């Protein structure tokens, strides 16, 4: 594998970044359209034709809670997303139950 210096020189000086030069000088657009921002804006809107005047987030939350009551897998998903996953404790021990000891040995090359 070629080193970075050899790779850069094979492509030529014109294609290299100058020191302190950015590959994306304008950066990420501040208010660019992305699906996340569009969905977040939509969630707070009223659902058209809903007689109770609920927002999309209200309808989704109600549906999710209803599903969680019917199916333990949905309930687990709901709890993990709202409360976080329960940490799993791990215990490591040797075959006879004693602690595992790691030993690192550095071997010097011959002639040093």
pLDDT tens per residue, range 71-100: 988 888 888 888 888 888 877 777 788 888
Distance CA 54, CA 51 (A): 8
Separation CA 22–CA 75 (nearest Å):
47
Q: Does residue 14 register a pLDDT over 60?
A: yes
**Cα 5 to Cα 11: distance, rounded to the nearest angstrom:** 10
2-20: string of b/e by CB count within 10 Å (b at 16+)? eeeeeeeeeeeeeeeeeee
pLDDT at residue 58, rounded to an integer: 94
The yes-or-no verdict on residue 103 having pLDDT over 70 is yes
Torsion angle defined by CA atoms of residues 60, 63, 64 and 65, in that order, rounded to the nearest 10 degrees: 120
Q: What is the domain partition of the chain in residue ranges?
A: 47-84
């Amino acid at each position: 594998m070629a080193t970075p210096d050899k790779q850069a020189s094979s492509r030529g000086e014109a294609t290299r970044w100058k020191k302190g030069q950015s590959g994306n000088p304008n950066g990420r657009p501040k208010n660019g359209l992305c699906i996340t921002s569009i969905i977040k804006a939509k969630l707070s809107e009223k659902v058209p034709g809903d007689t109770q005047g609920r927002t999309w987030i209200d309808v989704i939350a109600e549906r999710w809670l209803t599903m969680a009551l019917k199916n333990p897998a949905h309930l687990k998903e709901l709890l993990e997303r709202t409360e976080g996953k329960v940490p799993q404790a791990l215990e490591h021990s040797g075959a006879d139950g004693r602690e595992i000891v790691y030993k690192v040995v550095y071997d010097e090359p011959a002639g040093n």
